Amino acid sequence: MPKINPKTTNLINESIKQAIEESRKPLLLAHARPDGDAIGSVLGLGLALQNAGKSPLLVFSDGLPKSYRFLQGSEQIATSIDSSYDLVIALDCANYERLSTPDTIEKVHINIDHHVTNEQYADINLVLPEYASTTSILAQYLTHWGLALTKDIADALLMGMITDAIGFRTNNVTPAFLRIAADLVDLGADLTEMYHQSLTMHSPQASRIWGFALARLELEGNLAWTSILIKDRDRAGYTGMDDADLTNHLSSIEKIDVSVLFNEQKDGKVKVSWRSSAKYDVTRLAALFGGGGHPQASGAQVEGALEAVKLNVLEETRKLIEGNQNNTEGI
């Protein structure tokens, strides 16, 4: 796996190792409305710290989606922060503002992430965009920090790798990434179960959400979009504010190169998720709306009413598609 300058990496690793050794009660956070990579990172590192005799605090202010509660350690996830922590570790979060409860955190000590848009906001930043997931970084580096890997940790990390790479089918999956996954399987991680639980199994409530949203699916050339409404959740009995993995389904529609999911939130905002083929870099769109992510998978939290947000986002998305087509025609 390619790495940043080895000397720089070594210094960062030594700093992280020392900070972990000196900490008694580290606080682990990830981005709001966590996905599989964020959850796998927090649980994987949290379990490793526990095994090393620490008392980590694992916090998601939005709570843990029900679909991930099969993982060992998930019962330890809290929704509020105990002020007695002595180290803050942010995982899989590109900027401070996206952290789960950032207003209560004065400083982030360690930032571990793989997003190319990461703003390097911590005292120590291990940001490796060449890795396809934050969980794959942890799988590589935990032992460098004096932390052991066990089956439960391997399960959490493998689950995060599977979800962020959408079943190992994104274009940033490399032979080295697959070797990391194989190493986790060697440690006892259950590939079949992690794949089934995180990608193929959906609750009846999630299935109903899909039905409501897909009924309003719109197609325009190689662009597709739809929305999840607050009332959809109420009708479906779906308690989470995530997208029930509908985003990835939209990207699988035939002849679609760019898909957008608008996920209405209760705080007067809309969570926008883009997926694209390799021809389009949707981080450019996410950046316009204060978000970030990967070239083929990005998102943003946009203030405003759903219809107004849709109008603005689709306008910019069409511009990206048209600009790409014009550039291709000029070659």
The encoded tokens of residue 218 equal 């719109």
The domain that holds 99 is classified in CATH as 3.90.1640.10
The pLDDT of residue 328: 53
Q: Are strands 258-264 and 269-276 parallel, antiparallel or unpaired?
A: antiparallel
Residue 284 CB partners (closer than 8 Å, separation 6+): 320
pLDDT category at 5 given cuts 50, 70, 90 is low
Domain range for 320? 204-329
Total domains in the chain come to: 2
Tell me the whole-structure pTM to 2 decimals.
Answer: 0.85
Same domain, 159 and 236: no
The pLDDT of residue 116: 85
The pLDDT of residue 292: 83
Residue 2 predicted with pLDDT over 50: no
Whether residue 99 contacts residue 23, with contact meaning beta carbons closer than 8 Å, is answered with no
Same domain, 22 and 161: yes
Same domain, 263 and 165: no
Residue 4 predicted with pLDDT over 80: no
Predicted confidence (pLDDT) per residue in 188-218, tens digit: 999 999 999 988 888 899 999 999 999 999 9
Same domain, 216 and 147: no
Domain boundary pick from 148, 173, 199: 199
pLDDT category at 65 given cuts 50, 70, 90 is confident
Same domain, 181 and 217: no
Express as a percent the part of the chain with pLDDT over 90.
Answer: 73
pLDDT category at 157 given cuts 50, 70, 90 is very high
The domain that holds 248 is classified in CATH as 3.10.310.30
Domain boundary pick from 179, 199, 219: 199
Predicted confidence (pLDDT) per residue in 75-87, tens digit: 999 998 877 899 9
pLDDT category at 9 given cuts 50, 70, 90 is confident
Mean pLDDT within 125-148: 96
Please provide the average confidence, as pLDDT, over all residues in the chain.
Answer: 92
Same domain, 166 and 237: no
Q: Are strands 269-276 and 57-58 parallel, antiparallel or unpaired?
A: unpaired
Query: In 129-149, which positions are buried (b, 16+ CB within 10 angstroms) versus exposed (e)?
Result: bebbbbbbbbbbbbeebebeb
Residue 112 predicted with pLDDT over 90: yes
The pLDDT of residue 102: 75
pLDDT category at 89 given cuts 50, 70, 90 is very high
Mean pLDDT within 166-184: 93
pLDDT category at 1 given cuts 50, 70, 90 is very low
Same domain, 188 and 299: no
Residue holding tokens 């190493």? 183
Mean pLDDT within 129-149: 96
Q: Dmax of the chain from CA atoms? A: 61
Same domain, 211 and 180: no
The size of the chain, in residues, is: 331
Residue 327 predicted with pLDDT over 80: no
Q: Considering the domain boundaries, does residue 232 fall inside one? A: yes
